[in-house]
A and B are shown apart, each in its own frame.
Chain A
Amino acid sequence: MTGRLVLAVVALILLVLPLLASAYHVLLMLPFMAYAVVLLGLNLLFGYTGLVSFGHALFIGLGAYAGAFITTHTPIRSLEVILLAAAVAGAIVAAVVGALCVRYVKIYFGMLTLAFGMVFYTFLLKFYRLTGGDEGMRVLRPTLLGLDLSAMPKTDYLIGPYYYYSLAVLAVATLCMWRIVHSPFGLCLRTVRDNPAKAEALGLSVTRYRWRAFVISAVYAAAGGALLGPPTGNVDPTLAYWTQSGNIVFMTLLGGFASFFGPMLGAFVFIFLQDTVMSVVPYWRLVFGAILAFVVIFAPGGLMGLFARPAPAHASDGR
């Protein structure tokens, strides 16, 4: 019951935030919402299926570059089309990559995903005629629901229509993911995570379930990636670098991978804390590395784990 109350309050705050907060903080909410979508997907894999991907930046990059490619190479500007294209591209790539990766678990799964991520990163970096190399590509301002808002000043566009559009995408993504993890399919994923041998004995195809979770998580990551482009108007290969994959796993752990909303909380804290730290000293990595070390050693349940009464059973050993 308190959970629903908190959720309603948070939703209300998010709705009225552009009226209350400064433009600067509203702008910071944009990457938060994009990463929140990414992390909803990542946690289906990490928290619910027990597979830790160190290459999900691939799909963020894929989604972001899909947006850049469509707006600069075609006359299409519609963000709906971009999101759809990003999701489809993510699904297709993940169907192939996932089929190869889910045959392995643990460190080998992590290494394979990392290798695929680096393949895509080097592709973005080296094939500069197609991707703009290390300078990246421009993302032209997309239309929202068919509305051409190109006459609006950039900040007004971002803290107004674009903010609510992102919020709507996040809300839809959250609802879908909530349904997924609470469906029989979601229960099967947890069975696969906790006891693959038993799941197999019960007639579940373990690799197929892992593969499905992988593809869904990639679709989320690509859609989130597509949302990252328009606020900055530019995408570059660092979006797909391996440290980016590490950072999103970090966000998930920071918030708490054992909880549905944990990763979102992690993304929120990560982005706003990073902004606060960087306004004081340029060395955010030092502070964040120390935080990550602290979380790993003392609070593996993350921030949500601190609120939850008993530590989740699998938080201590990660399975």
Chain B
Amino acid sequence: MTRHLINILMSGVFHAAILFLVSAGLQVVFGVQKIFNLACGSFYALGAYVGVSAVGAFVAAGGPPALFIIPLIAAGLLVGLVGVVVERGLLRFVYDRDETFQLLLTFALVLMMEDLIRMTWGTAPQSTAGLYLVYGQARLLDATVPVYNLIVIAASLAIALAIGWLLTRTAFGRIMRASADNREMAEALGVDMRSVYARVFTLGTALGTLGGALVIPATAAMSEMGIELIVEAFAVVVIGGLGSMRGAFVGALVVGVLRALAIAVYPELEMLLIYLIVIAVLLLRPRGLFGSAVA
């Protein structure tokens, strides 16, 4: 019984760790730029594919399998630089438009990136064969949990703390919060909004791509993974409250663990339960659990 429960819980928390990264990317962008970025799921998919390729190249070049996590993380972070291209090349044209247009532009990105991924990597799922259990399994009470999952959970926690530190303890974090609060005032005080937006969007993108890279030793990369994850990340940010980092953290835990529970207890309910919670939250507390806090 305990073993069963711990298995469910740990797989839920692992999923939550990944969801948190993608949702955090969604939140920084929404918090500062007020754009709900549907494409953050596509960045997640991109990170996953690039991660598979990077690890594949690393192993093919004779790198020790135990170190595969280094090229994986490096690739996940580096490919986040596409954020600059997207922000400078597309998004900056619609900052003064209605949010409908901003949303549709990110939907255009979703469409384009799905096919770009198919063109580059083909339609067959890609995976890093056999590296998932390279770090072995850990015993937790009665249950066995892959050590890799624990590493990802720890990494996600570390990133959550790092984001908190960035937002509250650094000059850039203060600028981000100021821009989120009052863009005109921040600009009047001499903040170069172009560079803030470019950096914020790149940060958001990199969080998504890193999430994608970290997930692939556990699951194969597929071209639909982006559009599937975005609706989960959407649930996370709505439950937690749009633009709030603490909200993303709590929301990811709620969605990750509940989903794992639902799959174990009554699989038909899986995402249905999550969306019903989303609707309940939107109706009862539209700002989400932590909605009043900004960025």
Q: Identify which of A108, A253, A289 contacts B286 (C-beta below 8 A).
A: A108
Q: Which of B251-295 contact A (CB under 8 A)?
A: 267-272, 275-276, 278-279, 282-283, 286
**Would you call B78 an interface residue if the criterion is a C-beta within 8 Å of the partner chain's C-beta atoms?**
no
A108 — nearest CB in chain B belongs to which residue? B286
**B112 close to A115 (CB less than 8 A):** no
Annotate A278-307 by CB proximity to B: 1 below 8 A, 0 otherwise.
000011111011101100110010000000
Q: How many residues of B contact A (CB 8 A)?
A: 44
Provide the bound-state CA to CA distance between A250 and B271, in Å: 26
**Closest beta carbon of chain B to A295's beta carbon, Å:** 8
**B98 close to A319 (CB less than 8 A):** yes
Q: Report A-chain residues with C-beta under 8 Å of the C-beta of B107.
A: 246, 249-250, 292
Provide the bound-state CA to CA distance between A122 and B273, in Å: 10
Tell whether A296 pairs with B108 under 8 Å between CB atoms, given A111-B238, A115-B279, A286-B119.
Answer: yes
**Would you call B234 an interface residue if the criterion is a C-beta within 8 Å of the partner chain's C-beta atoms?**
yes
**A296 close to B101 (CB less than 8 A):** yes
Tell whether A250 pairs with B109 under 8 Å between CB atoms, given A114-B234, A297-B90.
Answer: no
Q: Report A-chain residues with C-beta under 8 Å of the C-beta of B101.
A: 296, 300, 318
Q: Which of B25-76 contact A (CB under 8 A)?
A: 36, 38
**Closest beta carbon of chain A to B13's beta carbon, Å:** 22
Provide the bound-state CA to CA distance between A106 and B242, in Å: 14
Q: Identify which of B90, B97, B270, B278 contacts A318 (C-beta below 8 A).
A: B97
Provide the bound-state CA to CA distance between A110 and B104, in Å: 12
A104 — nearest CB in chain B belongs to which residue? B286
Going nearest first, the 9 A-B pairs with the smallest beta carbon separation are: A318-B98, A289-B112, A289-B111, A286-B115, A292-B108, A293-B108, A283-B115, A285-B111, A285-B115
Chain B residues in contact with chain A, CB under 8 A? 36, 38, 90, 93-94, 97-101, 103-105, 107-116, 118-119, 227, 231, 234-235, 238, 242, 267-272, 275-276, 278-279, 282-283, 286
A-B CB contact pairs (8 Å), 8 listed: A100-B283, A115-B235, A115-B279, A118-B271, A122-B271, A289-B112, A296-B105, A300-B97
